[in-house]
Structure 1
Amino acid sequence: MHGNPLLYSSNPISQCPLSLFIRHRLISPFRWEVSGLASVSSSSRVQWPLNFPQTYRNALCHLHSTASQEIVETSNSGSGYVEIGFLSSVHGLQGDVCVKPSTDFPELRFSTPGRRWLRQQVSGRETIQEVELGEGREHPGKKSWILKIKGIDTVEQAKQLVGSTLLATEEDRPELEEGEFYTRDLIGMRVILKETGELVGTVVNVFNSGASDLLQVMLVSFIDMPNGSAKPEVASNGQSGSLVWVPFVEAIVPDVDLRRRELKITPPKGLLELNLRCDERSKKERRQLAWKERKKLQKRLVAAKRKLYELGQQHVFHGFASGEKSQRSSLTEQIIVINTKLFQQALQNIEIFSRRWNVTEQMNEARAKLLHTLKISEDCFIHSANECMLQENCILQQRGLFFLSKGKLAFCLVINDIQKSTENSSLPLLQKLLCDDHRFGKKEDRHSVPLVLVCPTHAIEPLQKLFLDHDHFAFNSQKVWFLEEEKLPIVSNSLEEQKKHKILLESRWQILQSPVGSGGVISSLSSQGILEDLAVMGVEYIQIFNANTRYVGNNSVLLGFVDSQEVEIGIQIYKDAEDMEESYNMIFHMNTLKKLTKQLDKLRFYPVPKLNSYVEKAGKDWISVVPSFPNSYELRSSIYSCLNSWPSDKICLMEITQ
């Protein structure tokens, strides 16, 4: 038995299946993958539709595994090394170097003196040489360490090491406690059904997703599925060739026997069939499809590079001239997902709108122009509010509830304050809100209500887990989307050569980025055809609101008011609100929102001065820059800025009073 397994990775990470767990925007590349002999880039982006079978959704328990990674590099000579970091730049004038960790044991690896190894490309050949680590210290404020390597005492000597990979021997891997595993030890283990003792297949890879881990299992031929479905077709090699993903959680993998090289599983019904290949394509056809996908990726990269060249940002391509394949792939993925249209618009707005968009001032000015306004007491929003308290607004509420019960309203909840650490996280509060019938509708009505959640990348999986653990809070799993918030590159606040604000780089393969803000929600909703899907479902209105708003949940009165006045946008504000940008609650007619997604040039951006460390290329060398005052702009946009392009008679305002 393994109680709370901690999974330590020692294998290259493969791409996760395209139909597992969730559907969300393309996520930032995994930064821990290091190539081995058969490496697969970890920068692959994952798009997971939330279409679990009902029985599987009910069966998942709390996830117990966490991913910590030290990737084992197996050389041609057979000797094993563990990649522990990448030498990214020179630090200071005494020959010190900065290293970006690729290990979850940085203190052990970088602060303990002793032998290490460097892997370099010399004259086109890969070499490994032994070095002596003298001392190391963590770089304050940066995700890196500063190392002193004996014999390296000048900047010129240190420059020769930049771009190298720091290694330790495989035998030096830290010993794990009981119930903890390195993923490399799991590769090749047999997978057996615990109830019947029947062989299911073999673990061929492990996908480390942060909050949980997935075993990739190749099925053998002639196994009976738990639900009695047809057996996989027999292949000539004795295996079906079909790959399935098994969550490495105690409820599904209760027994791990390293000595016998066996895993015993108790899969819920439908799990093993979830990602079976259902087509009859030959190996040649699948290769052709893979080739076409690579060509598409290449075309996207060419188009993105052309646009960035036009914007004077060609310096971001310097990273392609060095580094390993996984690092170059990571840079590729970051480049192709930049919304260059929004980025160009934001750069143009920097000089026009030099101060932050003041939503409160705008709404105060708009009050006099709007034809449709409504004031309502805050008491009407408490659970005990009755028809007498609502008075004439009771009709509006009933009208809004009718739309909700018929699936005519979709929720878009924006969550931007979930911490990477479980401490001080807003997840418990969100769970409480989602369990409240008064906020998101009655449980019996939710099955027909679509729900879109927009959140930071690191919050995708905690939210996924939260929904799986609570049966999606009675929402239909096929009508729930998880989208990553829109982000744009961070730029310098001074005009560089060619009078351009330059994109800043965290490393030569990592672009500094920051969230766009509430205005980015409109751009996020335009991705993946979500609005088209909602229209097919019969949705007429979509409510977009921030989790920080004073009253989170269904706003049936505002919806009824929007419909009764035959307007296209409804806005809720609080009379005493100091910053409406942090607590917005709006309702859009679907046709209006579709128009807005095609008119993103109407959004206004404003620069927010920030202090950011970065690297840049100076001649042939890369140097780290640590500023002492704000040196950059984060590009933000407010969802309210789109209202300027909309007729005032098509907008209504509901003001909440004390």
Structure 2
Amino acid sequence: LARFFSLFFSNFSTLFFLSWVLSENMQGSSALSCSSNSISAPVGLCCSQRPTLPFRNQRIVLENPSSLKIFHFHRNTTFPLLNCTATEEIVEASETEGLFVETGYIYSVHGLQGEVRVKATTDFPELRFSQPGRRWLRQQVTGRDMIQEIELVEGRGHPGQKSWILKFHEINTIEQAQKLVGSALLVKDEDRPILEEGEFYTPDLVGMKVFLKETRELVGTVINVFNSGASDLLHVELLPDRNARPQLEGSASGPLVWVPFVEAIVPNIDLSKREMLITPPKGLLELNIRADERSKKERRQLEWKERKKSQKRLIAAKKILHEMEQDHIFHGFRYGEKNQRSFLANQIVDVNSILLQHALQNKKIPYKRWSFLDFVNALQVNDTLKLSKEFFSIENVEHSSIGSKVQEQGHCLISSGKVAIVLALTESKLLGTSSIPEPAGPHEEIAYLHVKALLNDSHRLLKMEDRPSVPLIVVCPAESIEYLKQLFMDHDYFSFDSEKVWFLEEEKLPVVSASQEEENKHKILMKSPWEILQGPAGSAGIVTLLSSQNLLEHLHVMGVEYIQVCSGNQEFINGEMLLGFTKSREANAGIQVFRDAGYLEEHFNIVFSIDFAKKLTKKIDKLQFKAILKPNQHVEMVEKEWVDVIPSSPNSYEFHSSIYSCLNACPPSKVCLVDITA
């Protein structure tokens, strides 16, 4: 046994020494020098432009480039996977310039004669798989990419499987073929087909810098290209900060966006500079960017907390309605689909129960109602400024020292950002409508003509140069909010700052029954088992809206001192004179009225100081509501069935309150009036 081990180690040492000498000679031999490289994971694509409608798309040619660099030779005994006659060299990939292109990968064996199945990653399958000749295989051995030459004997397509069946030289058994499964098929990079003018290989696009064509602003870097079917898509990594320098490799990455690789959006590509210019449509670079950068776990936790808050709000709202003896509203929870029950829950939470209770209390307690006309007549003479409509012409204002001084003071408030405008578009009488109509077909332009005319008229609302500094709150019906948002976006927000524009749904109150049998019990009527019948609460609801949305506090932080609340159905609502006069009189509220209009309550232009407006939200009991008797169709639960009730006479009350009733909370000495006559 000792002699055996002695002989074994002696022979082993001799073999090791000879192997080392042979290896040194091979590395020094210039005749066997060769290059290798490491394989890059991205799919290599060739993109060619072709005309389509409405753009010229570019198709992807799947031909994967491998970044195979320098070949390091090893003995065959280290990689006994293949037995090929073309060459016996096995090489390891390293990180140098790419010399190979990946054309497919072997995913299975076929039959018993050593054939294999290949999934093509090239748009030249006939060229790559049907023509015999030299190919290269890339496999992983002990965690390293190894390259070996192999001879393709024949290949044929397999249409049913969308693959190719290949036969390699000296691979004749299923056992030999199984050793090839998982390998990537490669060809020399120099064998890539020459592209026509205007065509690009995807590897040439990946890594390119992307600039905006108009401004030459650096947008980001192309990190990959994908075929979406209709057209190719560039996956662009945006800079975390558009004004920052390009990120170094390994640094924090920016958001990813998709850019269609069509000539209309990517008109210029410079391969030598590795740059491309793009002309993206408005909003394209903002698509698919997640504003919330929190993790998925954090977002789920936040969603869970929001659901718990919603459940608590629903429980609290149901408790209040139960105390008001309105339990019939909850019948809808026992019927319908999940989305219908959710809609009912949202409606219950949104009911302004405090305002509803106050309106019902107004209905029950008779007293002398507050009169706006009597209030105006009670104002002191020195708190009233009477002007004619002609006064507001430029010539007359310039020749009036008092008027010009007051108007200049108002303009100073506006231009310095100390005024916010609340524009109520809920009761417009223009075009024969009682509210902004729901857009439909060709009448869309006509239906919103009064809105555009109002916002485009500097004389009626606000001068264009002052609008960027003025916050704007638009109050309108729920069905009009989305269209109004689009209208503002299409017209560049009519020169207002988009960050200072809010759209609020008008305040609504439930419609209640008017039963003579139960005079003091008013049931909330249901439009359907899952929808509460509601009506506009009137212009006074603007006060509660500002309170519920916490906008007053936000405006106060922005430095706003006065809030102008106006309806959009007036011939003249410019507030410079009213603001200046309110400021000069140090009043809590200022009113502009048209005597010829007969002091119509639906035409209003009022200025509140921000401090008075905040106090007003805590004095909702000062608002005066009218209970208007009207017929309203509704549904009721009768013997466990829903029944439609179609009245032949008035059967319900709708509550309405004018914004002028807010002045009931303000002493006349703190109110000023601008009275405009014809």
For the aligned pair, the TM-score class normalised by the smaller chain equals 0.5 to 0.7
SS of the aligned residue for 2:469 comes to: coil
8 A contact 1:450–1:479 mirrored in 2: yes
Distance 1:273 1:602, change over 3 A: same
1:493 and 1:461 mapped to 2: Cα distance?
35
1:498 and 1:376 mapped to 2: Cα distance?
48
Q: CA deviation at 1:222?
A: 5.3
8 A contact 1:486–1:520 mirrored in 2: yes
Partner residue in 1 for 2:646: 626
SS of the aligned residue for 2:627 comes to: strand
Partner residue in 2 for 1:613: 633
- Alignment size in residue pairs: 426
Pairs within 5 Å for 1:318-467 = 318-352=331-365, 361-367=373-379, 372-382=383-393, 385-388=396-399, 390-416=400-426, 417-422=435-440, 423=443, 427-467=448-488
Distance 1:202 1:307, change over 3 A: farther
Q: CA deviation at 1:620?
A: 1.1
TM-score with structure 1 setting the length:
0.59
Q: CA deviation at 1:577?
A: 2.0
8 A contact 2:595–2:676 mirrored in 1: yes
Distance 1:288 1:197, change over 3 A: closer
Whichever residue aligns with residue 351 of structure 1, its letter is: K
Pairs within 5 Å for 1:398-547 = 398-416=408-426, 417-422=435-440, 423=443, 427-494=448-515, 499-547=520-568
Q: CA deviation at 1:449?
A: 0.9
1:505 and 1:245 mapped to 2: Cα distance?
47
Partner residue in 2 for 1:178: none
Q: CA deviation at 1:531?
A: 1.1
2:532 and 2:390 mapped to 1: Cα distance?
47
Q: CA RMSD in A?
A: 3.7
Q: CA deviation at 1:575?
A: 1.2
Distance 1:291 1:498, change over 3 A: farther
Q: Out of 573-582 and 311-320, give the one that drifted further.
A: 573-582
Whichever residue aligns with residue 562 of structure 1, its letter is: T
Distance 1:646 1:364, change over 3 A: closer
Whichever residue aligns with residue 480 of structure 1, its letter is: V
1:558 and 1:313 mapped to 2: Cα distance?
45
SS of the aligned residue for 2:550 comes to: helix
8 A contact 2:624–2:661 mirrored in 1: yes
2:236 and 2:653 mapped to 1: Cα distance?
58
8 A contact 1:440–1:446 mirrored in 2: no
Partner residue in 2 for 1:95: none
8 A contact 1:227–1:269 mirrored in 2: no
1:349 and 1:244 mapped to 2: Cα distance?
57
Distance 1:202 1:321, change over 3 A: farther
Partner residue in 2 for 1:593: 613
Distance 1:560 1:507, change over 3 A: same
Partner residue in 2 for 1:558: 578
2:613 and 2:225 mapped to 1: Cα distance?
52
Q: CA deviation at 1:435?
A: 2.1
Given the alignment, which residue of 548, 555, 558 partners 2:569? Answer: 548
SS of the aligned residue for 2:559 comes to: coil
Partner residue in 2 for 1:268: 282
Distance 1:606 1:404, change over 3 A: same
Distance 1:563 1:386, change over 3 A: closer
1:499 and 1:201 mapped to 2: Cα distance?
69
Whichever residue aligns with residue 343 of structure 2, its letter is: S
Partner residue in 1 for 2:72: none
Whichever residue aligns with residue 364 of structure 2, its letter is: E
Distance 1:491 1:275, change over 3 A: farther
SS of the aligned residue for 1:629 comes to: coil
Distance 1:2 1:364, change over 3 A: farther
Partner residue in 2 for 1:187: none
Q: CA deviation at 1:548?
A: 1.3
Whichever residue aligns with residue 465 of structure 1, its letter is: Q
2:637 and 2:589 mapped to 1: Cα distance?
48
Partner residue in 1 for 2:79: none
Distance 1:199 1:302, change over 3 A: farther
Whichever residue aligns with residue 619 of structure 1, its letter is: E
Q: CA deviation at 1:344?
A: 0.7
2:484 and 2:226 mapped to 1: Cα distance?
31
1:359 and 1:197 mapped to 2: Cα distance?
70
User: Deviation string for 1:87-137 (max 9, x for gaps)?
Assistant: xxxxxxxxxxxxxxxxxxxxxxxxxxxxxxxxxxxxxxxxxxxxxxxxxxx
Distance 1:245 1:524, change over 3 A: farther
8 A contact 1:415–1:546 mirrored in 2: yes
Distance 1:285 1:405, change over 3 A: closer
8 A contact 1:353–1:606 mirrored in 2: no
8 A contact 2:372–2:660 mirrored in 1: no
SS of the aligned residue for 1:413 comes to: strand
Distance 1:284 1:306, change over 3 A: same
Q: CA deviation at 1:380?
A: 2.1
User: Deviation string for 1:314-359 (max 9, x for gaps)?
Assistant: 100000011110000000010001111001111111123699x785
Structure with the bigger percentage of helix: 2
Whichever residue aligns with residue 408 of structure 1, its letter is: K
Q: CA deviation at 1:2?
A: 8.8
Q: Out of 493-502 and 587-596, give the one that drifted further.
A: 493-502
2:568 and 2:638 mapped to 1: Cα distance?
44
Distance 1:650 1:333, change over 3 A: same
8 A contact 2:372–2:661 mirrored in 1: no
Given the alignment, which residue of 284, 305, 308 partners 2:297? Answer: 284
SS of the aligned residue for 2:286 comes to: coil
8 A contact 1:570–1:586 mirrored in 2: yes
Partner residue in 1 for 2:92: none
Whichever residue aligns with residue 635 of structure 1, its letter is: F
1:200 and 1:566 mapped to 2: Cα distance?
66
Given the alignment, which residue of 656, 660, 674 partners 1:636? Answer: 656
1:2 and 1:222 mapped to 2: Cα distance?
22
2:475 and 2:403 mapped to 1: Cα distance?
31
1:395 and 1:377 mapped to 2: Cα distance?
17
Partner residue in 2 for 1:22: none
8 A contact 1:407–1:538 mirrored in 2: yes
Pair 1:309 & 2:322 matched:
yes
1:446 and 1:453 mapped to 2: Cα distance?
14
SS of the aligned residue for 1:644 comes to: helix
SS of the aligned residue for 1:524 comes to: helix
1:319 and 1:469 mapped to 2: Cα distance?
40
SS of the aligned residue for 1:376 comes to: strand
- Specify which structure has the bigger relative contact order, considering alpha-carbon pairs within 8 angstroms and separated by 6 or more residues: 1
Distance 1:2 1:513, change over 3 A: farther
8 A contact 2:616–2:665 mirrored in 1: no
Pair 1:580 & 2:600 matched:
yes
User: Deviation string for 1:165-220 (max 9, x for gaps)?
Assistant: xxxxxxxxxxxxxxxxxxxxxxxxxxxxxx999768989xxxxxxxxxxxxxxxx9
2:226 and 2:237 mapped to 1: Cα distance?
9
1:526 and 1:328 mapped to 2: Cα distance?
28
Whichever residue aligns with residue 418 of structure 1, its letter is: I
8 A contact 2:459–2:572 mirrored in 1: no
Partner residue in 2 for 1:16: none
Q: CA deviation at 1:503?
A: 0.6
1:638 and 1:244 mapped to 2: Cα distance?
50
